[in-house]
Structure 1
Amino acid sequence: MSKSVQKLRGLTGMKDILPGESAQWEKLEQIVRDWLASYGYRNMRTPVLEYTQLFARGIGEVTDIVEKEMYSFTDSLNGDKLTMRPEFTAGIVRACIEHNMLYDRPHRIYSIGPVFRHERPQRGRYRQFHQIDVEALGLPGPDIDAELIIMLARLWKKLGLEDVRLEINSLGQSHERLAHREALIAYLEQHTDVMDDEAKRRMYSNPLRVLDTKNPAMQDMANNAPKLFDYLGEESLAHYQGVCDRLDDAGIVYTLNPRMVRGLDYYNLTVFEWVTDRLGAQGTVCGGGRYDGLMEILGGKPAPAVGFAIGMERLLDLWLQDAEPEPVPECQVYMVHQGDAAQRQAMRLAEQLRDVGLRVLVHAGSTGFKSQFRRADASGAVVAVILGENEVQARQASVKWLRMADQDQPQESIDFDQLAAHLQTKV
């Protein structure tokens, strides 16, 4: 008796995206690429693997991502400490520094791809998930902050999303955060009786994150804490007002959320989130802000920067709630054949059809016409091209329309050398 082999399964939180679902991803990605191109953003691709120190230094040592969520390991060949990217921004900034990209002009950049965080899988969030990451590098003013937000409003409109709302805040500059930090720590020290262990651990290392708590028992304490916004100086307030003025000009509704801090240490001045109530507790669809100090933190010359990230899984979930997606056809033309000579001719004709831009699927194997037609219909093809012994001898293909207005007309015969031109004009 042969020994049974254990069936292997995928890793928890690492989701397979099957062909039918993947077609919706491709459709959304194309909408996103066209949208970004309309604002002058160009694609950039950075490695999945980076040195661990890049994220520890860039994101911040005392953050959930660095402390608990990164997939890090030691390279067994040379002992390097490596990490699978938990976000895009640090890697993009590292590449800009390494390749001197900001030497002569600013850059508008985007990336789309997988990121990795070891957290509890939940709706729209997995351990391998995907982000649309958009960065404007070398541009200091409130105009570019506002442009990014206005861009996003246009994307929601393109996707038909009407219940995504905007929350904004300003984190000011480092000296303003330092003054607020001292006041905040003094306040937190007076309220340790309502703080959980996580908050007590962060009280001195990252007190702003204590205010971002989801613990119901801490909400009143967090709401009454000193607000960073009250410590902003004239320049920071002017920058914030400049963003608001431009959002007002564009007719975009927003709410000031003084407790918003975002999850990464590198932010300053403008921060924002687009949120919805349709995705449960994890309602943030997009988040971002300004991070003018990150270039210097990572060893480059000081340079302003601002950006945002969108979770693809959450965006797809939100988009597909509004309408059942139409199935995406596997092909436009399905080649049906009977006999070895007909199959070989079908493959030759299929190449000619592809030469004129048609998507063609040639039936694989040698099953009967009835089952081939069932498969042709299931493929979503517009037309079936039929080849048998008679068609090969006459050098004419039989054409049967499966969809479109022509599907009720009788089967027609088209010369092999005219088939590509005939179908190109009608499919």
Structure 2
Amino acid sequence: MSSSFQAPRGTYDILPATAATVLAVREALAAPLRRAGYGYIETPVFEDVKLFSRGVGESTDIVSKEMFTLTRRSDEDLALRPEGTASVLRATLEANLHRIGNLPVKLWYSGSQYRYEKPQKGRYRQFWQVGAEAIGAEDPALDAELVILAHDAYRSLGLRDFRILLNSLGDKTCRPVYRAALQEFLGGLDLDEETVRRAAINPLRVLDDKRPEVAKQLVGAPRLRDYLCEDCKAYHERVRELLTAAGVGFEDDDKLVRGLDYYTRTTFEFVHDGLGAQSAVGGGGRYDGLSEMIGGPALPSVGWALGVDRTVLALEAEGIELPGPAGTDVFAVPLGDEARRVLFGAVTELRREGLSADIVYGPKGLKAAMKAADRSGARYAVVAGERDLAENLVQLKDLTSGDQTPVALDALVTTLKEKLK
């Protein structure tokens, strides 16, 4: 009989059958970061609502429509985190990491984020990301480093059918000029009331609108690249040069603004064409003013977040199967209470010696126990009954060949370690 409860809409369970792939993806996305000197950080899954409204932006769908706010038992207004950057920066400032070590502070995280969205394949209300943030330095090499690390992570998984989109959003010098030109252009379009409101707050967000009736009107919109100041042009060109020198291909995308208000200058997105509408598997960019937005000092920074869920779907789209985890090495089959006591001790010792070992549980006969051993995928079964133990022996059965040999109980661990080298 199944439970009368189900996972909440827009969420799913990670079960053992798929967990190996999910864990392998998380490890592959994180491994290049550790090699590049990024330290692990973990923040609470809920924060003050104002942290996200100030940093992510009031005009974004994330803040205006998608945040999960919590029922409070105090005067605090809390929300489940919809993204990781604001939380990581908050933790950095609170712990003064930017003052007690070298800059940039290089951090990575892995965890779940939460957004109240219309559920569909590739878009969930709880989703997992691996993210990286380099806080406190303005250097095009840092932007390029993060793009390269993500690129190399995807390549290490065997993915080939992804593209990197690249753009520059300018800075506080040149973006206001572009903003004014874009608002003037948008003012002449036939837009719905909600889009007009968004255009008044942050017109760049309109460029991110995927609705056909809006997208077709954006043809001929002013291009930000034509408004970049000389410093931003030089900065962006340096990022492009470094990526090219590293053998990382990219496509320039004038309309790439990402979904968050805090981005400045470099912005990028990884897309996989095998995923349909939800083609983005990760992305990020530079956010030089976010620290000041949440009450901190000026700390130019850059980061990204890569979707674990979307990456798993990308692997499926390319037909890539990752190697599964190592199976059970040894499965113990005790026949009788004394044998169970002895073999339980042997299994414990095998595990402490680094071997994967399991034992049959519950009242099973020999036939059922051997079926359990076969299902475990173990290479060897250790079988013992009263007669074997009286002679200080166990029976070691090779479950591949079917060969069975007696082994002295006190030599069991050494014998198995030798056979399983």
TM-score category (smaller protein): over 0.9
CA displacement, residues 239-290 of structure 1 (integer Å, 9 cap, x when unaligned): 0011011011112221110111110011000000111110010101111000
Whether 2:51 is the aligned partner of 1:54: answer: yes
Partner of 2:339: 342
Distance 1:323 1:305 in 2: 34
Q: Structure 2 counterpart of 1:200, which letter?
A: V
Distance 2:316 2:383 in 1: 37
Partner of 2:76: 80
CA displacement, residues 125-173 of structure 1 (integer Å, 9 cap, x when unaligned): 2111100111111221100111111112211221111110111000010
Whether 2:32 is the aligned partner of 1:35: answer: yes
Distance 1:58 1:42 in 2: 23
Within a 5 Å distance, the mapping from 1:127-206 to structure 2 comes to 127-191=125-189, 193=190, 195-206=191-202
Query: Displacement of 1:62 after TM fit?
Result: 1.3
CA contact (8 A) 2:173 2:229 kept: no
Partner of 1:105: 102
Partner of 2:383: 386
Distance 1:339 1:414 in 2: 19
Whether 2:205 is the aligned partner of 1:209: answer: yes
Higher alpha-carbon deviation: 381-390 or 125-134: 381-390
Q: Secondary structure, in 3 states, of the residue corresponding to 1:75?
A: coil
Q: How many residues align?
A: 417
Q: Secondary structure, in 3 states, of the residue corresponding to 2:256?
A: coil
CA displacement, residues 304-344 of structure 1 (integer Å, 9 cap, x when unaligned): 11010011001011124423455545522111111111111
Distance 1:325 1:114 in 2: 22
Whether 2:262 is the aligned partner of 1:266: answer: yes
CA pair 421-156 structure 1, distance change in 2 beyond 3 A: same
Query: Displacement of 1:124 after TM fit?
Result: 2.0
Whether 2:211 is the aligned partner of 1:218: answer: no
CA displacement, residues 366-403 of structure 1 (integer Å, 9 cap, x when unaligned): 21111111111111112111111222212211111224
> When the two structures are superposed, what TM-score results if normalisation uses the length of structure 2?
0.95
CA displacement, residues 95-134 of structure 1 (integer Å, 9 cap, x when unaligned): 0000110113122111011110010111122111100111
Distance 1:155 1:359 in 2: 29
Distance 1:375 1:258 in 2: 59
Query: Displacement of 1:174 after TM fit?
Result: 1.9
Higher alpha-carbon deviation: 319-328 or 94-103: 319-328
Partner of 1:121: 119
Query: Displacement of 1:6 after TM fit?
Result: 7.7
> When the two structures are superposed, what TM-score results if normalisation uses the length of structure 1?
0.94
CA contact (8 A) 1:329 1:379 kept: no
Distance 2:24 2:229 in 1: 45
CA contact (8 A) 1:328 1:380 kept: no
Distance 2:418 2:37 in 1: 34
CA pair 273-6 structure 1, distance change in 2 beyond 3 A: closer
Q: Secondary structure, in 3 states, of the residue corresponding to 2:69?
A: strand
Whether 2:406 is the aligned partner of 1:413: answer: yes
CA pair 211-57 structure 1, distance change in 2 beyond 3 A: same
Q: Secondary structure, in 3 states, of the residue corresponding to 1:385?
A: strand
CA displacement, residues 52-72 of structure 1 (integer Å, 9 cap, x when unaligned): 111111111111000010111
CA contact (8 A) 1:105 1:138 kept: no
Unaligned runs of 5+ in 2: none
Q: Secondary structure, in 3 states, of the residue corresponding to 2:282?
A: strand
CA contact (8 A) 2:291 2:297 kept: yes
Q: Percent identity?
A: 39
Distance 2:131 2:237 in 1: 25
